[in-house]
């Protein structure tokens, strides 16, 4: 699998939150940044203290309500783990739960998170449930999920290495994901090479214009504050246009 970003690039991307990555991405993408890329339904980050996670998607579909899948393919777990282990990391496991909106059982708990962590996975995005959150924290395995479950029911890999839909967003195997407590962003392959530079630039642009203006208001009149902030907004847009041809958020 060809990777356009180095592991070092991913570590730098991990230093920012997902909204900051989005701010950079919207400057460089040809996609509709108001409709595409991010989750369309609320996703809860159960390990917010871990900060952001960045990795390439490996995908799996489950149906915890059904006891039939192990009968159909008794080697499903071994075959799925072989697929998962064959992909270079860092990886984020994207799990589609066919039982949605009901949560019969969790794919994730202490054992599965430790196994996946040992094989290069940094976390999961699952529109099903998780359990053993203290133990998952101890393993250093981050999870964005729809909720918590007591049991695992009939959690079993039904199919994998296929397109999945989670939180209203289709995700393909191998796509880069950036995720934190705000949600997740799926980066189109054609936007990867410029992503890090764009995120750096837009973060710096905010700091040097609007944020700087807002935090330098002590002792000034309301009229002065508004005048300076309006000028900062113009400078923010001018700088973004000169760099990317877009004005940015403001």
The phi and psi torsions of 62 (rounded to 5 degrees) equal -130, 165
Which residues face 166 on adjacent strands?
A: 169
Q: CB neighbours of 2 closer than 8 A, spacing ≥ 6?
A: none
Greater pLDDT, 172 or 249:
172
Give the closest residue to 139 by CA, choosing from 125, 154, 118. Answer: 118
Give the pLDDT score at 245.
82
Q: What is the pLDDT of residues 96-129, one digit of tens each?
A: 999 999 999 999 999 999 999 999 999 999 999 9
Residue 186: alpha-carbon gap to chain centroid: 7
Which residues face 53 on adjacent strands?
A: 179
Q: How far is CA 207 from CA 105, 195, 198, 227, 236, in A?
A: 45, 19, 14, 18, 10
Give the whole-number percent of the chain exceeding pLDDT 70: 98
The ranges assigned to domains in the chain are 38-187, 194-244
Q: What is the pLDDT of residues 45-90, one digit of tens each?
A: 999 999 999 999 999 999 999 999 999 999 999 999 999 999 999 9
38-187 in CATH: which number?
3.50.30.40
Tokens of 159: 């199919």
Q: What is the pLDDT of residues 141-200, one digit of tens each?
A: 999 999 999 999 999 999 999 999 999 999 999 999 999 999 999 999 999 999 999 999
Residue in the structure block whose two tokens are 């981050």: 142
Q: Is the pLDDT of residue 250 over 80?
A: no
pTM for the whole thing? 0.92
Q: What is the pLDDT of residues 220-231, one digit of tens each?
A: 999 999 999 899
Q: CA angle, corner 163, sides to 169 and 27, nearest 5?
A: 45
Give the pLDDT score at 162.
98
């Amino acid at each position: 699998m060809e990777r356009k970003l180095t592991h070092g690039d991913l570590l730098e991307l991990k230093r920012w939150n997902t909204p900051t990555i989005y701010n950079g991405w919207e400057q460089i993408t040809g996609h509709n940044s108001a409709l595409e890329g991010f989750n369309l339904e609320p996703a809860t980050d159960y390990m917010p203290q871990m900060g952001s996670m960045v990795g390439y998607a490996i995908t799996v579909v489950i149906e915890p309500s059904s006891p039939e899948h192990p009968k159909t393919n008794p080697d499903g777990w071994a075959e799925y783990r072989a697929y998962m282990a064959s992909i270079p990391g860092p990886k984020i496991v994207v799990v589609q739960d066919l039982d949605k909106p009901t949560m019969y059982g969790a794919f994730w708990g202490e054992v599965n998170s430790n196994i996946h962590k040992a094989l290069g996975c940094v976390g999961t995005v699952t529109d099903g449930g998780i359990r053993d959150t203290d133990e998952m924290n101890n393993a250093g395995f981050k999870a964005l999920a729809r909720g918590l479950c007591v049991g695992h029911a009939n959690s079993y890999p039904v199919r994998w290495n296929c397109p999945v839909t989670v939180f209203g967003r289709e995700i393909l195997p191998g796509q880069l994901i950036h995720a934190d407590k705000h949600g997740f962003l799926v980066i189109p392959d054609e936007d990867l090479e410029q992503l890090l530079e764009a995120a750096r630039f837009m973060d710096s642009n905010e700091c040097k214009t609007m944020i700087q203006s807002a935090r330098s208001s002590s002792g000034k009149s309301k009229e002065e504050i508004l005048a300076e902030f309006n000028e900062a907004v113009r400078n923010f847009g001018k700088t973004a246009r000169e760099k990317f041809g877009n004005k940015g958020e403001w």
